[in-house]
A and B are shown apart, each in its own frame.
Chain A
Amino acid sequence: MKRFLVSNQPWITLLFRLILGGVLLAAGGLKVGKPTESANATGAYKILPTDLAHLVGYALPWLEVAVGLLLIVGIMVRYSAIFSGLLMIIFIGAIASVWARGMLIDCGCFGGGGEIDPSLKSQVHRAYFTEIMRDLGLALCALYLYFFPYGKFSVEKSAQPIEEK
C-alpha cells in the first residue's frame, strides 16, 4: 500500500487534488450565489454566536471556491491542503457536535441547510454519518497532499524531477 502510494505519487497527487478541489469548488460554487441561505445554514449549527456564524456563512463559500481552484490548477497546494484539512476537521467536529446535542439539521454542505422535521430523524442521523465519513476521506486526501503537493499537471513543480516509469 505504502509502496503503491509512493511509486504512483504524481498521479495520486493529481487525483487527490481533483477530488478535494472538485468537492470544494462544487460545495462553494453551489452556495456562493445564495449568501442568505448559507448564513442561515451556519447559524443553524448553534455553535458560534449568531452574528459570527452569519459571517462564516458569508465567507465560507468564497473560501471554498478559492481553495478548490488553487488545488485543481496546482498553486500553493501544500497551503491549500493544510487549509482544507483543517476545514474538514472543523466540519467533522461541527456535525459531531450537532449530532451529540440531538439536533436535527441539514448540514448545508452543498447549499440548503436549516432545521429538519423530527419525523426524518433516522435519515438525518444516517446523513450525519455519511457526511463525517466523507469529510474524513477528504481530510486524508489533504494529508497526502501536504506530504506530496507536486504531481502531474500542476502549475507549481517539484525540485526533484518526477520519476517516470
Chain B
Amino acid sequence: MAKQVAKKADNTTRWIVIAMVSLVVVTGVVFSLFGQSSKESASIAALDGYTLKPAVTSTIDPNNGSAITFDNGAVTTIDVWEDPQCPVCKFFADANGDYLDSLIREKKATVRYHVLSFLGDESVRAANASFCAADEGQYLDFHKALYTVQSQLENSGFWSNESLVNIGKKIGINSTKFEDCVTKGSKVDLVQANSDSMSKYGVQGTPTVFINGKLWERTQNEFVLEEFKAAVENG
C-alpha cells in the first residue's frame, strides 16, 4: 500500500499541537497526584482529639485461622473478614463498626476479626499493626482509626510503618512496644496465618461476615445498621 503524503510539512503547527497535548496531560497528572496526597494527609486530622476507649483484651485463636478473637462467653459468634485497604470494608465498618464494638464491650457476642492482606504491601503493614494494637488491648480503636483514614488509592505509599505508628499515637497508643512491633513487622506470621485460612473457610473476598457460622449478606446496595442488627439478633 502506498502511504499518503501530507499537503506540506508544517513542523511548527505539529510541535505546537504536541506541546499543547503534553501540557494538558502533565497538568492532569500533577493535579491528580497532589490532590491524592493532600487528601491523605488531611485525613489524619480527622483523628484529632480522639479519646482512646478502655482496653479490651483479645486472644489469637489458632483453631480459627489465628483471628483476633474477643471471646466473652456469649452464645452468638460473629466472624468478620476484612482487608484494611478494601473500600467496601470501610463501608461495612462505617455502618456497623460501632455496633460490633458495643457487642464486644457488653459481652453480647464473641467476635473474631480475620485480618486479610491480599491488596498489597500496605495491607500487610496495616494488618501487622492491627495485631500489634491487639497486643495493647486497643485493636477496636485502631481498627476504627484505620478505616477513618483509609486512602482511596491502594498502596499509595500512605500506610508506611511510620505513619501507622503515627496513627496509633494520634489515638493514644503510645507504647514503645507497639512502635517496635509495627516497625519490625513482628506479627507477619499471624498476618500470613490469617491469609492462609481463607480457603479453609471458603472466603473469597472482603468483607465477608459469618453470624454463628452462617454467611451473612446484605440485601441492600449499602450497609444498613438495622439490617445487620436484625441479622445478629435473629442469629
Contacts and interface: CB of A to CB of B under 8 A. Distances in A.
- Pair from one complex: yes
Interface of A: 6, 32, 35-37, 39-40, 43, 50-51, 54-55, 58-59, 61-63, 66-67, 70, 75-76, 115, 117-119, 147-150, 156-160
B120 A117 contact: no
A36 to B, nearest CB: 5
Contacts of A6: 1
Given A70-B21, A119-B204, 15 more contacts: A35-B32, A36-B152, A43-B120, A50-B155, A58-B32, A59-B29, A62-B25, A62-B28, A76-B17, A147-B3, A150-B4, A156-B6, A158-B6, A159-B6, A159-B8
B29 A50 contact: no
Interface in B154-180: 154-157
B25 A160 contact: no
Nearest to B2: A147
Interface in B54-102: none
B153 A66 contact: no
B6 A150 contact: yes
A18 B61 CA distance: 61
Given A35-B36, A39-B153, A75-B17, A160 B4 contact: yes
27 contacts: A6-B1, A36-B153, A37-B152, A39-B32, A39-B156, A43-B154, A50-B120, A51-B157, A55-B29, A58-B29, A61-B28, A62-B28, A62-B29, A66-B21, A67-B21, A75-B17, A117-B205, A118-B205, A119-B204, A147-B1, A147-B3, A147-B4, A149-B4, A156-B7, A158-B6, A159-B4, A160-B4
B230 interface: no
User: Which bracket fits the contact residues of B?
Assistant: 20 to 34
B7 A157 contact: yes
A92 B149 CA distance: 36
B200 interface: no
Interface in B12-38: 14, 17-18, 21, 24-25, 28-29, 31-33, 35-36
B45 interface: no
Contacts of B121: 50
A14 B121 CA distance: 47
B10 to A, nearest CB: 9
Query: Chain A interface secondary structure, helix, strand, loop or mixed?
Result: helix
A104 B25 CA distance: 30
B5 interface: yes
Contacts of A148: 4
B29 A66 contact: no
Contacts of B156: 39, 54
B5 A70 contact: no
Contacts of A160: 4-5
Given A156-B7, A158-B7, A66 B24 contact: yes
B19 to A, nearest CB: 12
Contacts of A59: 25, 28-29
Contacts of A37: 152
Nearest to B5: A159
A115 B17 CA distance: 37
Contacts of B21: 66-67, 70
B24 A62 contact: yes
The residue in A40, A61, A70, A119 that gathers the most chain B C-beta atoms within 10 A of its C-beta is A40
B36 A159 contact: no
